[in-house]
């Protein structure tokens, strides 16, 4: 499962990197929550929550339907 999540993150990574940001996988819980860390320009960006929900979460759920939610951790 971790490999599928990493592959999905790799598919959106170029969009984040184009704006100076990136994303790292931190943890996958048993109840379908994926914890990620936004890095680079995403740290402190006022749009980071929108990026997390509309970009990262949507891409992961599209590829792996059992994921319930994506959360940012520090």
For the chain, give every domain's residue range: 2-72
pLDDT (0 to 100) of residue 1: 87
User: Looking up tokens 């992961």, which residue turns up?
Assistant: 60
Q: Which fold has domain 2-72?
A: GMP Synthetase; Chain A, domain 3 (3.30.300)
Q: Is 40 left (phi over 0), alpha (psi -120 to 50) or beta?
A: left
Is pLDDT of 74 > 90? no
pLDDT digits (tens, 9 = 90+) for 12-64: 999 999 999 999 999 999 999 999 999 999 998 999 999 999 999 999 999 99
Say how far apart CA 63 and CA 17 lie, in whole Å: 20
């Amino acid at each position: 499962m971790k490999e599928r999540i990493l592959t999905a993150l790799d598919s959106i990574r170029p969009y984040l990197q184009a704006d100076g940001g990136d994303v790292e996988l931190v943890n996958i819980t048993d109840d379908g929550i994926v914890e990620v860390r936004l890095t680079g320009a995403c740290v402190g960006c006022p749009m980071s929550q929108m990026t997390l929900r509309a970009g990262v979460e949507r891409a992961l759920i599209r590829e792996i339907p059992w994921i319930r939610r994506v959360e940012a951790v520090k």
